[in-house]
Amino acid sequence: MSDRKCPYCNEHVPSYSLTCPKCYRNIPREEKNMKDKDIKESETSNSVSKSVTNKTLVLLLAFIPSAFGLMGLGQIYEREYKRGLTFLAVGLFLFIILVMLINSFSHVNGGWSFITIGATILVGLVFIGTYLIQAFDALVRSLFVVN
């Protein structure tokens, strides 16, 4: 292991040291063993694995929390705030209305039960449709849009 010199104070610094023993400043590391080609390949493989991880996270955020009304988290993660917040507001609104309608089954008597059941089915279908739209949007954008 050869010694090198500190670019700040000109002190001899061992090759394994990250800081200068005299001025305690960080010493730039020299990577002579790796070729430029190896560096580029490792950066490319790291970016590919990060993008795969990011796409997986986007899809998980789009599918799992959305079943509980938290739609649009995949879009928010992808920094599409307007679209994500719109899905989030609509999803929470529909989820709250759906829960309120389901809870009202035990309190409704007579002919109103038919209307409550119909409203619950209608809101449920709209909720499922919104869920599928936001999940498809997150899927298409994460798989086919190049960053």
Q: What is the DSSP string of 104-123?
A: GGGT--TTHHHHHHHHHHHH
Mean pLDDT of 79-108: 89
User: How far is the C-alpha of 61 from the C-alpha of 71, rounded, in Å?
Assistant: 8
pLDDT at 122 over 80: yes
Which residues 6+ apart lie within 8 Å of 29 measured at CB? 18
pLDDT at 29 over 90: no
Phi then psi dihedrals of residue 111, to 5 deg: -70, -15
User: How far is the C-alpha of 74 from the C-alpha of 51, rounded, in Å?
Assistant: 14
How does pLDDT run across 97-110, given as a tens digit for each residue?
999 998 887 777 77
pLDDT at 35 over 50: no
**Predicted local confidence at residue 85, as pLDDT:** 92
